[in-house]
Chains A and B, each alone.
Chain A
Amino acid sequence: MSLIDVENLTLQFKTDEGLITAVDNVSFSIAPGEVMGLVGESGSGKSVTAKSLMKLNPGNAVYAPESRITLHLDNGPVDVMSLKRPRDMEVVRGGSVSMIFQEPMASFAPAMTIGSQMVEQLLIHTDMSKKQARELSIEMLDRVGISDASTRFGQYAFEMSGGMRQRAMIAMALSTKPKLLIADEPTTALDVTIQAQVIDLMKDLVTDFGMGIIFITHDLGVVAQTADKVAVMYLGKMIEQGPVREVIRNPYHPYTQGLIDALPQLDDLDKPLMPVPGDIPSPLERPEGCVFHTRCGKIIGDVCRTVAPGWSDTGENHRTACHLCHEGQSA
């Protein structure tokens, strides 16, 4: 059984300039012990999707009525959309789902030491003693590669470098051993060496506790090394999803192919870097038909400009939303 099911998630933001569609009819599931990579250009809706799972989007967010998010916990399923009061949210935010945010400074209270925040969180969400909580916190800090962890335990967030703060946040998010971890660009600001350590740590937790992870990143190398499956987003739409090997080796959607071509690869230094041409359109001016048609090098014709492509099966558990696949051609 899956750990979380997201069905037809659609979310708009009310702004002065009008309604912004940030997420448009997105569906996916994650099983226990499964890691899903969520990739796409900045502004494609990755963070908003992730925050929806804990209903953490700001007050101007409007969820469409057909949006459905079901979290399967030990005590039965939880309908996340129906949770309104902060007290109800405790089931979701209370340690069984953890999120690592893109902005690490925001997740630590400035006036408390890193250690006391970690301990406090463990005391609320587990039945550990203070001593156990302290020991576990120091161990977690050590495991994310923070040297001299017992000293760092007593420091404030502002006393740490950016990379160290990011790791402390990862340690805190992992210490409650959540069922589902949502990690929003957790390693983008880290050195490759520390990134490799953090990835190993996450993999251990997946094996040891069957934790499920949504891993948001724009680094396809990181996805290749961590994820079981990948979902690609563009302008709020999910445009391709499937097993990691399939999607990276045989991408069907022209946008996914573009992302892979844009990546600097070490085994061929002569290969020119090929950006996806053009800029991502403003979410206020979403293109009709296929949202990618303004930048697509393989556009077929009017059908792309007027009709939004539905899903086509492009392999086992692999599907793509592009008219090229509809016509039975490989893109």
Chain B
Amino acid sequence: MSTENLIETKDLSVGFPVGGKIFNKSVLKAVNDVSLSIPRGSFFGVVGESGSGKTTFGRALLNAAPITGGSAHYEDGDVSYDLGKLTGSELKEYRRRAQLIFQDPYAALSPRMTVRDIIAEPLEVVGLCNSREEVDERVREIANLCRLNLEHLRRFPHAFSGGQRQRISIARALVSKPRFVVADESVAALDVSIQADILNLLKSLQDEMGLTYLFISHDLSVVAHTCDHVAVMYLGQIMESAPTRQLFRSPRHPYTKALFSAIPSLDPDDHGKAQKLEGEIPSPTNRPTGCQFHTRCPFAIDLCKREEPRMETCEAEHSVTCHRWRELQLAD
């Protein structure tokens, strides 16, 4: 594993058993052979349509979804973990190091706990502090970083606006001083102004605390503005992965291109140039043969239906999973 990476996955798969009857039992592969490296200190984005496996991938890296194939490694200073095989004290330490910021701050916060108790809970779960004073000290410190004041800590979450609630869930995720944070659609429910505020907060916390983020989102403009590197997922697979600017400037995969052309432009006279993507993502229990994207790809040829493309490196740090990436001219 390269020392620059905090997390590396190799052919990582997550399968869920589906179907009740013994004979019809099959496996739904929500994440399918994913090989990715997440550099330490990066803001790493994952995009893709609903059901593409983004949340499941994030959960696998948090040790919260079963790794059923391949591997995921975490390496930081003198610790090195095989995430599929964590037990006992290692597991406990990893739970401190890897945290989740919830998708929906409204549903995630318990209405009967004060903000102070909500933020403090992870400390108590991992047994990180020895006294109540120590806990209070830590809670105040992180609340301050997340721009919540002391008076806020005594209140209940229903008294807060959407943006404030999101700051509470961020404080809760960061109170145990994690190294790796999964932010799953953390700004999706917020309106633009609050969204900008939370994104700026995540960035400044990254600098102050030396965090590495896995940032899951279906909003490509948000990802373009916040992430250094973006991976595009489709039906549990990585279709393309590249440094943000490079990906947006010269996408190599037809799916990436299709996602980009669907972004509504702020210019009322610009209605998008490329053709729109028809239909929807197939069910992972009924996968297409060959390239997973061929049922919707405007460039599909016979080969695409028969043979599954492998992920190839097309430039430094830029990989693509498409038979035809060399010949297609997708950049505008």
Contacts and interface: CB of A to CB of B under 8 A. Distances in A.
Given A259-B192, A275-B193, A224 B161 contact: no
A93 interface: no
A43 B191 CA distance: 10
A221 B161 contact: no
Interface in A143-160: 145-147
Interface size class, chain A? 35 or more
A189 B185 CA distance: 11
Contacts of A329: none
A218 B51 contact: no
Contact of B276 (A189, A200, A221, A280): A200
- The winner among B49, B162, B192 for most chain A CB atoms within 10 A is B192
A266 B263 contact: yes
A283 B9 CA distance: 49
A224 B276 contact: no
B50 A162 contact: yes
B181 to A, nearest CB: 19
Given A192-B218, A220-B192, A221-B265, A273 B225 contact: yes
A222 interface: yes
B191 A218 contact: yes
A259 B190 CA distance: 13
Given A218-B191, A218-B192, A279-B163, A224 B259 contact: no
A56 interface: no
Interface stretch (B12-20, B124-132, B196-204): B196-204
Given A42-B162, A161-B50, A194-B280, A276 B193 contact: yes
Interface string B202-220: 0000000000000000111
B276 A245 contact: no
A225 B196 contact: no
SS of A interface (majority): loop
Contacts of A258: 193
A163 B50 contact: yes
B276 to A, nearest CB: 5
Interface in A163-203: 163, 188-197, 199-200
B153 interface: no
Interface string B270-291: 0110001111101000000000
B265 A192 contact: no
Contacts of B164: 279
Nearest to B223: A264
B245 interface: yes
B221 A273 contact: no
A219 interface: yes
Contacts of B258: 193
Interface in B153-194: 161-164, 188, 190-194
Interface in A277-294: 279-280
B196 A265 contact: no
A191 B277 CA distance: 11
B115 to A, nearest CB: 15
B195 A221 contact: no
B163 A193 contact: no
Nearest to A199: B264
Contacts of A218: 191-192
A224 B193 contact: no
B65 interface: no
Nearest to A255: B193
Contacts of B280: 145-147, 193-194
Given A262-B193, A265-B221, A191 B50 contact: yes
Contacts of A163: 50
A202 B218 CA distance: 22
Contacts of A263: 192, 196, 221, 266
